[in-house]
Amino acid sequence: MSSPRGAPGDQRYGESEERPRQHEADLSALQLVTTPRPFFTEQLRALERCGVNSTTLPVPGVSRSRSVTDFLKYYPKVLGRTLGSGDFDVIHANFGLVAPHALAQPSRPVVLSLWGTDLMGKYGAVSRWCAKQCDAVVVMSEEMAAELDTDCHVIPHGIDFERFAPRPREDARVELGWNPAAKHVLFPYAPDREVKDYPRAERVVEITRGSADQPVALHAVNGLAHEEIPTYMNAADALLMTSKREGSPNAIKEALACDLPIVATNVGDVPDRLDGVYPSYIGRSDADLASALETVFELDARSNGRETIADASLERTGERLREVYESVGAGT
C-alpha cells in the first residue's frame, strides 16, 4: 500500500535524490515525530529500502519553543490522517510526547520509539504510561530498557558507514581552516541544549589548557548540515561528550565510524560502545574527563572504533524495525 502525498504538514524525504536499490514497498507507516532529526530521516530511508513506505507528520511549531497549544493542534492532524485518506498499516510514534496522539487514534497498531530524554527527563512519566499501552516499544539501549516496566526491543539508531568513514586528519583540517599546530576537541551538539551540558565541556577543556604545550580549541557543532559533520570528526583530535542523559547517541557511533577517539560521561549505552575501543575513555568527574583528554592528546592516534560497530548499520536498523511492525500485525 502507498501513502498519500502532499497533505498539509506532511514531509516527504528524498523525493528527488537517487536511492539505493530497494524492495518494493508492501507496508505503509505513519511516522509521528516532534522534529525530524537527521538520524530519523536516515532511518526512514533504511525502512524504505526494506519495503516500508513512510509518511512523516511532525508536531507544529519550532523545537524547544513549542507550547501546549502546538501539541493540541497536532491531534486533529493525526486523527485526520488515520481516519481520512491515509491507509496505513502501523502508526510509529518517534519520541514519547507524540505517543498520546498515536494512541488516541482508534484503528491502527502503535509502535513507540523512545529516544532517551523522553524517558529519563521530565516527561518520563508520560513515556512510561504510554509504553504500557502501545503494541510494541523500541528503546535505544539496555539502560533505557531497564527503566521500563514493560517488554521492549533494543534497536539503536543506525548510521551511514559510507558518509562517516576515516580520512586523513590533515586534509580535513585544511578544508576547515583549522590551526594544524593546535589540539582540537569536538563537542557534537549545539551549546544551548541544556541536557548536553556545554558549560562542563568548557570547564574540562580549560583544565587541559593549563598543562598543554599547544593551543586547545573547543568546537561546538551548531547549525551544520549533517553531511558536514564527518569532516569535523576527521579533523578533530577527540570528541568530548558531557551529556547528563543519553539513550544511544548517534554522535558516539558516528565518531567510532571515523576512528575518532572519544571522551565521554557515563550515560546511555556509551560505556558499552566504548568497551574495547582505544584510545577512548569514560570519566565521572571534570578531572577524570580532562585527564582522559590529555592522554588522547599525548597518544596522538586514531582509535579502532570502526571495527567495533558493525551492528550499527542503517540496513540492520531498518530490518529490525520492519520485524517489529510485522510483529504487531502490520501487513497482515
What was the pLDDT predicted at 86?
64
User: Are 290 and 261 within one domain?
Assistant: yes
Q: Are 95 and 115 in contact (CB under 8 A)?
A: yes
User: Are 284 and 323 within one domain?
Assistant: no
Long-range CB contacts for residues 168-172, cutoff 8 Å, separation at least 24:
168/234, 169/234, 169/235, 169/302, 171/234, 172/231, 172/232, 172/234, 172/235
User: Are 306 and 318 within one domain?
Assistant: no
Model pTM score? 0.83
Core vs surface per residue 167-192: b (16+ CB within 10 A) or e: eebeebbeeeebeeeebbbbbbbebe
User: Are 116 and 135 within one domain?
Assistant: yes
What was the pLDDT predicted at 34?
94
How many Cα atoms occupy the beta-carbon half-sphere of 172 within 13 Å?
Answer: 19
CA angle, 35 as apex, 47 and 8 as ends, to 5°? Answer: 85
User: Are 204 and 105 within one domain?
Assistant: no
The answer to whether residue 5 sits within a structural domain is no
What was the pLDDT predicted at 121?
81
User: Are 114 and 231 within one domain?
Assistant: no
The answer to whether residue 82 sits within a structural domain is yes
SS3 of 33, please?
strand
Q: Are 269 and 143 in contact (CB under 8 A)?
A: yes
The order of strands in the sheet holding 238-241 is: 216-220, 183-187, 238-241, 262-264, 281-282
> For every one of its 332 residues, what pLDDT tens digit does the chain have, with 9 covering 90 and above?
223 223 333 333 333 333 344 567 799 999 999 999 899 999 999 999 999 999 999 999 887 778 888 999 999 999 888 876 668 999 999 999 999 999 998 889 999 999 988 998 888 999 999 999 999 999 998 989 998 989 999 999 999 999 999 999 999 999 999 999 999 999 999 999 999 999 999 999 999 999 888 999 999 988 889 999 999 999 999 999 999 988 899 999 999 999 999 999 999 899 999 999 999 999 999 999 999 999 999 999 999 999 999 889 999 999 999 999 999 987 67
Q: Residue 163 is placed in which grid cell?
A: 558518509
The answer to whether residue 14 sits within a structural domain is no
User: Are 178 and 302 within one domain?
Assistant: yes
What was the pLDDT predicted at 85?
61
SS3 of 241, please?
strand
**Measured CA distances, 63 to 104, 164, 293 (Å):** 23, 26, 32
Q: Residue 274 is placed in which grid cell?
A: 566504548
For residue 217, the surrounding DSSP H or E stretch is: strand 216-220
* Cis amide prior to 261 (ω within 30 degrees): no
User: Are 323 and 250 within one domain?
Assistant: no
Residue 136 CB contacts under 8 Å (≥ 6 apart), including other chains = 109, 110, 111, 112, 152, 153, 324, 327, 328
What was the pLDDT predicted at 255?
98
User: Are 209 and 79 within one domain?
Assistant: no
User: Are 154 and 206 within one domain?
Assistant: no
Phi-psi region of 166 (alpha: psi -120 to 50; beta: other; left: phi over 0): beta
Q: Residue 323 is placed in which grid cell?
A: 520485524
Task: Count CB-CB contacts under 10 A for residue 284.
Answer: 9
The answer to whether residue 164 sits within a structural domain is no
CA angle, 254 as apex, 253 and 256 as ends, to 5°? Answer: 65
Beta strands 216-220 and 183-187 are: parallel
Domain boundaries, position 55: 27-158+313-327
The answer to whether residue 19 sits within a structural domain is no
- Return d(Cα 294, Cα 146) in angstroms, integer: 34
SS3 of 185, please?
strand
For residue 158, the surrounding DSSP H or E stretch is: none
User: Are 209 and 291 within one domain?
Assistant: yes
User: Are 80 and 130 within one domain?
Assistant: yes
The answer to whether residue 103 sits within a structural domain is yes
- Return d(Cα 248, Cα 250) in angstroms, integer: 6
- Closest to 160 measured CA to CA, from 233, 237, 258: 258
Number of domains in the chain: 2
**CATH code, 243:** 3.40.50.2000
The answer to whether residue 13 sits within a structural domain is no
